[in-house]
C-alpha cells in the first residue's frame, strides 16, 4: 500500500507508479471523511479535471467514492480550468472540491487538488486531517458510477455559466473586445484553450491561439509551466506575428504567464507587481496584499506607497488562501505565477490575471514594456531568476542539514543581513535583495531563487547561493 502524502497543493504522483486508480479512490475516501467530519452529512462537492491522460476517468473514480459516502457530486462535463472549478464550489453551495490535475508538472504526473467551501486551498491542519484519514483499499466506500447518476448522487454540469457572469462584474470585458489588440494566447495544451476567444473575441480584438488542443505529452515544451523555456514557442510566435502581447496559462489555467510586444517574457514577480499596481492605481482599489516569501519585494514598496498592508506567508495557496480570507485581501499570489483577487474566490486564476493585464494596457494606453517602466518608476528596478535542481531524498536532507547551520557573510558579493527559515532558507541581502533555497512541495526539486535591484547581480547571486547550498 503506497503512502499518500499531501504537499503544497494536495497530492501529486507518477501515473501507473503511485498515482493509480486505487490510490485516487483511497485519497477520495480520506477527503470524504474530512468533509463529513467538517461539514456534516447531506452536503455536495464539485469534481473537475484537466486534459492529462485519463484525468476524466480518475475524476469519475473519485466521484464514485464520494457518492458511496453519501456526498452528492457535481461533476464537470469536460476538462475545466481550476479557477472555474473553484468558483463553482461556493456558487453551487458545495462544501469543497476535488480537482484531478497536476497543473504544471511533467506529462508523466497527475494530481489530486482539494478545496474547501470557499473554493480556496485547505489549510495545513485540514490537509493533515485528510492525509491521516486515507485508509487501505478495503476501507473505501464506493457506489457504481451509473447507479450513482441514476440516483442523483452524481450530476454532470457546466461550471462556466456563473464564472463568466462574475467576470463581467469584475472588469469591463467590452473595452478589451473593442480595443483592436492582437493577442497571441498560449494555452500550453491545457484547460485555458478557448477561454479568451470566448470572453473577449468576436469584435475588434483578434486572438491567435497556439497549443490549444488536447495533447497530454505537451510537445514543444518540457512541461506546461508558464516560464521559459516552455513559453519560448509562444513568445516567438507573438514576435513574428506582431502581437501586442502574449497571454499564457499553464496546464490547468490557474497560473498566468505574459510576454510583451517585443516577444520578451515578463517574469512572474514583475507580473505580480503589475497586477498590484493596476488594482491600486488604475482601479483605485485598497486592501491587503498577501504574498509568499518567495515573491517580490516590490509589493512591500507598493504597500508603503499606497498605504495598504502587506502580509507574507509560506509558499503555497494553503497559506495564501486562508490569509486572503482572513484579511479580505485585494490580491494574493506566489512566485509560480498564481494570483487570486478579491471579488472572485481565494484561488489562483490565470484567466482573470491575463484579462486584468489586458485591461491595464487598454485603460492606460501603454504597451507591456511601458507598463514595466511605469512599475519601475514607482518602486525601482527589480530583477529575478530561479534555478531548479532535481534531487533524491538523501540529497534533500543533506542540503537541509547544511543550510540549518551555514551563515555566509556574503552571497554574490552582497552582504547577508539576515536569514529567514519560515519556509526554506531565505538570505536577506543588503540593498533590499534576497536569495532563497527551498525544497519543492510538489516535485523532487530543490529551487534556488533570487531578486536583486541590479540586473548584473542575478547570475552571480544564484551561482553563489547554489554553492552555499552544496548543490
Calculate the CA 409 to chain-centre distance. Answer: 34
What is the per-residue pLDDT for 356? 98
pLDDT value of residue 1: 66
The C-alpha cell 514598496 sits at 301
Place of cell 469584435: 203
* Residue spans per domain, the chain: 11-160, 171-379, 383-469
Calculate Rg over the CA atoms of the chain.
Answer: 22
Cα–Cα dist 196/122, whole Å = 29
Fold classified for 383-469: TATA-Binding Protein (3.30.310)
Strands (E), 268-382: 289-292, 310-313, 331-333, 339-341
Enter the C-alpha cell of residue 124.
Answer: 495545513
Distance in angstroms (rounded) separating the CA atoms of residues 438 and 415: 20
The two domains 11-160 and 171-379 share their CATH topology (first three levels equal): yes
pLDDT band (50, 70, 90) for residue 442: confident
Tell me how far apart the alpha carbons of residues 258 and 355 are, in angstroms, rounded to a whole number: 11
How confident is the model over 334-367, as pLDDT tens digits?
Answer: 998 999 999 999 999 999 999 999 999 999 999 9
Cross-strand bridge partners of residue 44:
72
For 171-379, CATH gives: 3.40.120.10
User: Rounded to whole angstroms, how far apart are CA atoms 329 and 317?
Assistant: 13
pLDDT attached to residue 268: 95
Distance (Å, rounded) from C-alpha 314 to C-alpha 294? 8
CA 412 to chain centre: 30
- Listed in sequence order, the residues at least 6 apart from 344 whose beta carbon sits closer than 8 Å to its beta carbon are 83, 87, 166, 170, 352
- Give the orientation angle of helix 268-277 with respect to helix 368-379, to 10 degrees: 80
* Predicted local confidence at residue 165, as pLDDT: 96
Q: Which residues are CB-neighbours of 151 under 8 A, at least 6 positions away?
A: 67, 143
C-alpha cell recorded at residue 148: 450513482
Average pLDDT of 103-114?
Answer: 95
Query: Above pLDDT 90, what percent of the chain?
Result: 90
pLDDT one-digit tens code per residue, 68-101: 999 999 999 999 999 999 999 999 999 999 999 9
Q: What is the rounded CA–CA span in Å between residue 148 and residue 154?
A: 6
User: Over the stretch 203-258, which tens digit does the pLDDT of each residue have?
Assistant: 999 999 999 999 999 999 999 999 999 999 999 999 999 999 999 999 999 999 99
Q: How confident is the model over 14-42, as a mean pLDDT?
A: 97
- Topology, domain 11-160: Alpha-D-Glucose-1,6-Bisphosphate; Chain A, domain 3 (3.40.120)
Amino acid at each position: 500500500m503506497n503512502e499518500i502524502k499531501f504537499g503544497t497543493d494536495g497530492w501529486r504522483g507518477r501515473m501507473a507508479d503511485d498515482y493509480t486508480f486505487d490510490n485516487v479512490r483511497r485519497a477520495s475516501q480520506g477527503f470524504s471523511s474530512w468533509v463529513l467530519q467538517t461539514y456534516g452529512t447531506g452536503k455536495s462537492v464539485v469534481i473537475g479535471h484537466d486534459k492529462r491522460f485519463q484525468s476524466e476517468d480518475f475524476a469519475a473514480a473519485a466521484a464514485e467514492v464520494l457518492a458511496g459516502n453519501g456526498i452528492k457530486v457535481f461533476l464537470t462535463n469536460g476538462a475545466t480550468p481550476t479557477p472555474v472549478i473553484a468558483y463553482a464550489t461556493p456558487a453551487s453551495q458545495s462544501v469543497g472540491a476535488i480537482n484531478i490535475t497536476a497543473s504544471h508538472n511533467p506529462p508523466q504526473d497527475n494530481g489530486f487538488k482539494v478545496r474547501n467551501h470557499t473554493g480556496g486551498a485547505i489549510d495545513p491542519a485540514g490537509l493533515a486531517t485528510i492525509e491521516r484519514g486515507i485508509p487501505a483499499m478495503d476501507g473505501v466506500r464506493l457506489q457504481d458510477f451509473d447507479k450513482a447518476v441514476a440516483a442523483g448522487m452524481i450530476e454532470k454540469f457546466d461550471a462556466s455559466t456563473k464564472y463568466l457572469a462574475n467576470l463581467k462584474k469584475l472588469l469591463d470585458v467590452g473595452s478589451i473586445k473593442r480595443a483592436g489588440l492582437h493577442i497571441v494566447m498560449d494555452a500550453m495544451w491545457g484547460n485555458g484553450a478557448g477561454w479568451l476567444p470566448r470572453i473577449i473575441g468576436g469584435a475588434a480584438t483578434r486572438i491567435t491561439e497556439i497549443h490549444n488542443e488536447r495533447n497530454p505529452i505537451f510537445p514543444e515544451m518540457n512541461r506546461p509551466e508558464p516560464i521559459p523555456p516552455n513559453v519560448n514557442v509562444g513568445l516567438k510566435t507573438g514576435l513574428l506575428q506582431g502581437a501586442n502581447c502574449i497571454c499564457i496559462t499553464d496546464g490547468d489555467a490557474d497560473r498566468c504567464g505574459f510576454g510583451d510586444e517585443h516577444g520578451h517574457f515578463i517574469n512572474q514577480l514583475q507580473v505580480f507587481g503589475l497586477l498590484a499596481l493596476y488594482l491600486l492605481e488604475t482601479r483605485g482599489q485598497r486592501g491587503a496584499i498577501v504574498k509568499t516569501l518567495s515573491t517580490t519585494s516590490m509589493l512591500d514598496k507598493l504597500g508603503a506607497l499606497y498605504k495598504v498592508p502587506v502580509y507574507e506567508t509560506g509558499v503555497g495557496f494553503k497559506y495564501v488562501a486562508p490569509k486572503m480570507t482572513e484579511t479580505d485581501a485585494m490580491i494574493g499570489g506566489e512566485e509560480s505565477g498564481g494570483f487570486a483577487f478579491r471579488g472572485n474566490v481565494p484561488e489562483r486564476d490565470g484567466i482573470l490575471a491575463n484579462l486584468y493585464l489586458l485591461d491595464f494596457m487598454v485603460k492606460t494606453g501603454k504597451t507591456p514594456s511601458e507598463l514595466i517602466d511605469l512599475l519601475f518608476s514607482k518602486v525601482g528596478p527589480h530583477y529575478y531568476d530561479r534555478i531548479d535542481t532535481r534531487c533524491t531524498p538523501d540529497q534533500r536532507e543533506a542540503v537541509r542539514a547544511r543550510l540549518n547551520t551555514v551563515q555566509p557573510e556574503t552571497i554574490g558579493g552582497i552582504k547577508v543581513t539576515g536569514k529567514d527559515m519560515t519556509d526554506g532558507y531565505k538570505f536577506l541581502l543588503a540593498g533590499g535583495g534576497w536569495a532563497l533555497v527551498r525544497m519543492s512541495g510538489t516535485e523532487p526539486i530543490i529551487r534556488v531563487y533570487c531578486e536583486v535591484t541590479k540586473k548584473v547581480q542575478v547570475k552571480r547571486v544564484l551561482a553563489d547561493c547554489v554553492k552555499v547550498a552544496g548543490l
